[in-house]
Amino acid sequence: MTKIDNMMNILWMLNSGRRITAKQISEKLEMNIRTVYRYMDALSASGVPIISDTGHHGGYILLNTFIKSPLLFDVEEQTTLLHAAVFAKEAGYFSGEALDRATSKLKMYTNPEQERMIKQHVEGLEVINPIGDPSMEPILKTLEQSVVSESAVEIEYHSNREEQSQCRIVDPYGIVYWNNNWYVVAFCHLRDEIRSFRVGRIRRIIQTEMTFNRPTNFSAGEFFMKSLLPEVENKQGFMPLVVEGETSALDNLCQHWFLGYYVKERTPKKVTFLLEKKAIHTYVPYLLLPYGKSVQVIEPISLKQKLIEVLYELIDYYQV
């Protein structure tokens, strides 16, 4: 480890608020005790308020004012960061190695009581998600670096509407994680417009020497969601969808990634959405069928007929 790493490690150990000896530091960090003394002198010289007591019960301790410094984390903050790391890894976060190094530092330099509490918190939380595709990791890292450096990339992209992959130059503006998939929002030179590309469909990527200027205050997330959802500002062509049912089922409908954006009114046993007529008859039947008898369509009446048609199509399909 470098000198600065060792000095930070010593600070983490002192952050426990308890008196700690040079011997304990040397054993924990596996370094010569004389080296510990040199580091303590260096920290004191840099302005860190370390109190040193000699004798049988002596040791080092930090002043309380420094322990509360934003530089160091308390148990709740450490636990929160470790929980966030669990969510990130299960979502297929592409900088897993760096994440592991960061979390190991958080766990390493705590006193026994803090370690016990953090261990209980971390073991008490589990996240179950689909396993990510490890082959996307280098592509995601290249895209992230291109977003930061504002460098265009050449990608070989296979969309679901094309039989063969196409090569195109894009300017990555941001990366979005949505519905267990990664997307990059970028300006496409081929189409001359900003588009969203699913990272899992990128077969090859090369960073170019071309640069670009990212639009001021541009939000990749906002652009991505607007591309999925029709505009609600213009109410023409929209109609109410009224559903009654069990509270838990209605809660799930209101939290759905699509329907949740169009909740107009909600009571414990009824919810009203304001949706485009085409969407109600095209997508909603397939969203409601899994709920069975726990929900009931009140209006529009035409949706009830559409649900019956979809069910008969399924019956015919499975009777063949």
Same domain (yes/no): 246, 313: yes
Domain contains 131: no
Q: Are residues 153 and 212 in the same domain?
A: yes
Tell me, yes or no, whether 133 lies in a domain. no
Same domain, 146 and 220: yes
Residues 82 and 158 in one domain: no
Same domain, yes or no: 195 and 247: no
Domain membership flag for residue 293: yes
Question: Residue 295 falls within a domain, yes or no?
Answer: yes
Domain shared by 256 and 303, yes or no: yes
Question: What CATH number is given to the structural domain containing 150?
Answer: 2.30.30
The Cα 79–Cα 103 span in angstroms is 10
Alpha helices in 46-174 (DSSP H): 64-67, 75-90, 96-108, 112-123, 137-149
Same domain, 209 and 148: yes
CA distance 152 to 203: 16
Cβ-based neighbours of 264, under 8 Å, separated by 6 or more = 240, 272, 273, 274
Q: Examine the domain organization and report whether 59 and 89 are in the same domain.
A: no
In terms of domains, do 214 and 169 share one?
yes
**Is the same domain home to 117 and 150?**
no
Q: How many domains does the chain have?
A: 4
C-alpha 125/C-alpha 74 separation (Å) is 19
Domain boundary (227, 257, 288) is at 227
d(CA 126, CA 123): 7
Given 67, 84, 107, the domain boundary residue is 67
pLDDT at position 132: 63
- Cβ(273)–Cβ(259) below 8 Å: yes
- The predicted structure's pLDDT at residue 59: 86
| Domain contains 211 | yes
Look up the pTM and report it. Answer: 0.63
**Other Cβ atoms within 10 Å of 39 Cβ, number:** 20
In a domain, 132, yes or no: no
209: amino acid identity, one letter: E
The tens place of each residue's pLDDT in the chain, 320 residues long, gives 677 778 878 887 887 667 888 888 888 888 898 998 888 888 887 777 888 887 777 788 887 656 444 455 667 777 888 888 888 877 778 877 888 888 877 766 566 666 777 788 778 887 777 666 677 889 999 999 999 999 999 999 998 777 788 999 999 999 999 888 899 999 999 999 999 999 999 999 999 999 999 999 999 999 998 888 755 445 567 899 999 999 999 999 999 988 988 999 999 999 999 998 888 999 999 999 999 999 999 999 999 999 999 999 999 999 87
| pLDDT at residue number 245 | 95
Range of the domain at 186: 138-227
Of 67, 88, 110, the one marking the end of a domain is 67
Same domain, 10 and 33: yes
Residue 288 lies in a domain: yes
Instruction: Tell whether 53 and 108 lie within a shared domain.
Output: no
Between CA 8 and CA 20 the distance in angstroms is 15
What CATH number does residue 62 fall under? 1.10.10.10
Shortest CA distance to 295 belongs to which of 262, 317, 273, 264? 273
Residue 296: which CATH number? 3.30.70
Residue 233 lies in a domain: no
